[in-house]
Amino acid sequence: MPKAPSPPPRATKPPKTKAPAKSCDCHFYIFGPPARYPLAAIRGYTPPPALVPQYRAMIDTLGIERMVIVHPSVYGTDNSCSLDAMAALGERCRMVAVIDSFVTDAQLKQMDAAGVRGARFNLISMGGPSRNALEAIARRVAPLGWHLQVYVEGKQLAELAPILEKLPVPVVVDHMGQIMTAWGPNNPSLRALRKLIDSGRGWVKLCGYRCSSAGPPYADVTPLARALIGSAAERCVWGSDWPHPNLNGAVPDDGTLLDLLSEWAPSDAIRHKILVENPAALYGFPA
């Protein structure tokens, strides 16, 4: 049985430091009206609607101008809701889809033209292809210039990173690799993730709370984030994870999450890389 609904989105506090021009939120979801976008029968959780106008209100508060919608596992490989949301948000939006071996070349080209720039593997929640399809799907999307985005349990990284490093496309690791801060700074998962980043093949999405062992205000995430930024600031991007689905405990405030980035990267130049330059390179936004 899917888990009970996650809390709905709430109003966002303005951040202390507004995002620079052309900043990008590289990870959010849209959950449309269930009557129009039915949820998959096999899924890990049941989200309430989280709609485009609500998301627009949040990013306007943060000062975010660009965005990347990530297709959620609760829809399986039916990308309709995310594609429609990307179309509604226009040229400033890109997308990461969920596909399987049944997708046709024509469908891939159609998604590419619409603004899809990657294919996601969620190896934690139910829905989508298994890890056995990594190489096959990487070969399918490589001619389009897409990347693979992977969401994995942190303890899988030591085994999985060498496989990811050999794929013919860049690999973006979700949520800082789900490496829990309680594991300490010298754990094998962090070493594996840093090696993947250092290879030049790996990217990482900085996310302010899912790796926290202490909970709000997530101060324990700072050493982990600084370690990853220190490995390769030019291959780090930031994502809000709005509307924070499938979460046990308090729903974080997105303004507070953006302010955490200022603690992780006090340099204006590094934050500009993470929020503006790196997303433009990875997702094909105008420079």
Catalytic residues: 241
| Strand stretches in the chain, DSSP E | 24-28, 66-70, 93-97, 116-122, 147-151, 171-173, 202-206, 236-238
Contact between residue 189 and residue 155 where contact means Cβ atoms under 8 Å apart: yes
Contact between residue 261 and residue 238 where contact means Cβ atoms under 8 Å apart: yes
Of 122, 197, 111, 173, the closest CA to residue 146 belongs to 111
Contact between residue 43 and residue 285 where contact means Cβ atoms under 8 Å apart: no
Contact between residue 77 and residue 98 where contact means Cβ atoms under 8 Å apart: yes
- Please tell me what DSSP assigns to residue 276: I
